[in-house]
Structure 1
């Protein structure tokens, strides 16, 4: 009979210890689950933010492209109408010379043969070699 009592006591003690260990590890598992959910939420927010950024820059590029086309259309209109209205004057004096292609725009740029210098010709200031004549 003594053996049965020991077996029952060991079983009850095992159940109590198992219950306590289960409770302690359950809190860690719950914490891990909440961290996992927070991580998944943050990842989805980041993906959503990236999609918003892609849409924003795509829309901005479309708007800028439309604005450039509208500006070009306005400039062409102004060039044609100023040439028509000011047909009696010299065509070079019109405020909107007609530019047909980008090569025309590039050809109007001044072409430099050499880069500008960052110094002046000859000596100046303290390095001037001429003696002063105001010695008293």
Structure 2
């Protein structure tokens, strides 16, 4: 009788074990699928980020080229407007400001680039420091 009970319990254990194994294997398969999808999504996201970064890099280069070309065009228009219409009044010439900048650059004048003290600079001490220096000299 003991053998029959052992055999019954073992068969019941095998059935329960196989049911649990099937349930957990489904979860493992789902986990594997989810991990695979996650890796795929991360890879696609990284590709998207790289394309996005490349796009902005190329856009920045293009904008830089446009800026340089615009500056060259503006300089050319300023120079040619001065050459072709030399007696045009300043208020009628849209390139007056640029012409004066270009003439300063071409003549090499460094009047504006000299370094000196700011206009509001004072050689004498003022305020609290002035009073402190007087009291220290008197001591």
Q: State whether TM-score is above 0.5.
A: yes
Please list the CA deviations of residues 18-41 of structure 1 after superposition, one character each: whole Å capped at 9, or x if unmatched: 111100111111112222222222
Partner of 1:36: 35
Q: Could you list the runs of 5+ residues in structure 2 that have no partner in the other structure?
A: 105-139
Greater RCO structure (CA 8 Å; 6+ sep): 2
| Alpha-carbon distance in 2 for matches of 1:94, 1:80 | 11
Displaced runs of 4 or more, over 6 A = none
Alignment of 1:80-99 (within 5 A): 80-87=79-86, 89-90=87-88, 92=90, 93-97=92-96, 98=99, 99=101
TM-score, scaled relative to structure 2: 0.61
Partner of 2:57: 58
Please list the CA deviations of residues 86-108 of structure 1 after superposition, one character each: whole Å capped at 9, or x if unmatched: 13x1462434222449xxxxxxx
Partner of 2:46: 47
Partner of 1:79: 78
Higher helix residue share: 2
Partner of 1:23: 22
Partner of 2:11: 12
Residues matched between the structures, number? 99
Q: Could you list the runs of 5+ residues in structure 1 that have no partner in the other structure?
A: 102-136
TM-score, scaled relative to structure 1: 0.62
